[in-house]
Structure 1
Amino acid sequence: EAASKDLALAEPPQLQFEAYHGVRSAEDIAAYVLKALDQVQSVADAKAEASYDDEFSETNARAAAMKAAEMARAAKSLGGQIRTSGCIIDGSFRVNRVPGSFYVTPHSMGHNLNPDVINMTHTVKHLSFGKHVPGRPSYVARNLRRVWNRVPKDLGGRFAAGDEATFYSEEPNTVHEHYLKIVSRTFEPLEGQAVQLYEYTFNSNRFRLNPPLAADGDPDQHVDGPMIKFSYDVSPMSVVLKEVKKPLLDWILGMCALLGGVYTCAGLLETFLQSSVCAVKRRVGK
């Protein structure tokens, strides 16, 4: 009995397919996939028809048509007809203050993936560095709440305050590379604790991998199939934004300079008008 229990524990875990419970044959699985794709297409068509009812239907229809055309180009190049929304990646992790990179690659422990039909089209909706991000709802410590409302909302980077962009793969074996240059910014208010933020510049590039058996060149050995790569470099420099209160004397001197400029301009305008009127009178008198 003990031997049988050990044998049962030694068996590898069985893969579970919760979405499909039919016969494990190629014909039945193919029929199930085609039926699922038809359902996805019908739901997408229903949503598209419903979008015409709102007041921005025409604008939404044009944007949807442009996006559908781009996705159709990508799907055609990858040999498919329908592409779903794919995966949603959300989370955070720690990085060192040295140049580095992180990757998004397709892997599966229970499936064989064909890199020739993998579509790495993706949308970046939010990307930020640091604990606090301006322009985005997040938890703010109690000692920073009074200062947080005065922090400029455009700090934090391109995708930190709600902007988003889609990057399309228009051919198979496409690798997307995003380069980020990060600069530390410190906001020092008149009253309260200083807030440290991180801002970055964003540049993108994409290229196609050489096939493993290409006759015209060597295969790419520095990457492992289609992927998305984010390379970042933290600058050693730091930018300090500091609120400064002007003394009363500086404000008085500024107002005097402003009034003096207005008085001078008014005097020049009066002189010009008087000279013009005198010239006209002399001409009429003659």
Structure 2
Amino acid sequence: MAPRRRLTTFDAFSKTVEDARVRTTSGGVVTIVSSIIICLLIVSEWRDYRQITNRPELIVDKTRGERMNINFNVTFPTIPCDMLTLDVMDISGDQQTEISHGIIKTRLGPDRSIISSESLDLLKASESAPHLDAGYCGPCYGAIPKEEEGKRCCNTCDDVRNAYQEVGWAFGDGTGVEQCERENYPQRVEAVKHEGCNIAGHFSVNKVVGNFHFAPGKSYTSPTVHVHDLNQYSSSDVVHTFAHEIHHLSFGPYHNGIINPLDGAVKHTTERNFNYMYFVKVVSTRFEKIGQAPVDTNQYSVTSHERPIRGGRDEDHKNTMHARGGIPGVFFSYDISPMKVINREERPKSFGSFLIGVCAAVGGVLAVATVIDRGVWEADKALSRKKTI
């Protein structure tokens, strides 16, 4: 029993005899108020523990050789889909002309209604061209060098158009070209001239400085110049314009934490020869959420410029307004920032900090309540003594 007696000398929580305890009304009030305060403080500590904060961090982007997806959805209400071309080029020399993979073009009526798929089928050239003789070799109308005559054939309208493109000649609507008239190409051009186009999809680019643009006509690229065949666009009796609406434009995977500044942008013009330029600054962004896999994407800022084109005709190459004043269209020039933003979710408190906070709240409230209860008790006894004197 001696060891137990020694331990009692260290007891900091001395006990009182049950019979010696006095319960008062004031003590009950103080206990109830203290319990409520303790519960509120514990709830507050729990909320602080469960709270998630977003801590942004800016670092140098050290990634190399990455590619980036560009997602878009744009409507051109006064340009037929057959006349619209999407080209991409970057500072590394990579060029993608007349992109079609991953792209959906939707033909729109003058009231922006979607033209049915039956109408699309009726206008397919492959279904309107008759069977050709096995020995048939169509002319290219001087669009190939003389030394290649007889060795190269232009059997379809697209073959003639491609031959014209290679030598930088304007093509027009195909009138007077045997292959095109056989495929009813002039009639198709006439049938769609009042239509609009919605073009949507995605394409992959090198993560370097570059640009992509929507312009009229087939494109032609040489080591020194990039031009478009604007003959059909500029000579049409219908005034086509590059008025447009950008429904969506983003760089990289979707994330709900990113606001794309060009989404919903609308531009109107009544001029045929008009140029829109968007200068985009792309910043790599990483989202790290608690309990989820990290998401690497991009956000961007943008400035825009628009101007009418005052151009002319290049008679040497039979192209219309291809270089002197610029090309009508919508151009997006993007630059890649060398910095990377990391948005990291964190909990400001650990579970241990939560427990410490709860203990501090309980102990502090009980200590203050004890002082208050003792003070009320002593004051009540003093008043009682005065009344008995």
Greater Rg, structure 1 or structure 2?
Answer: 2
Higher helix share: 1
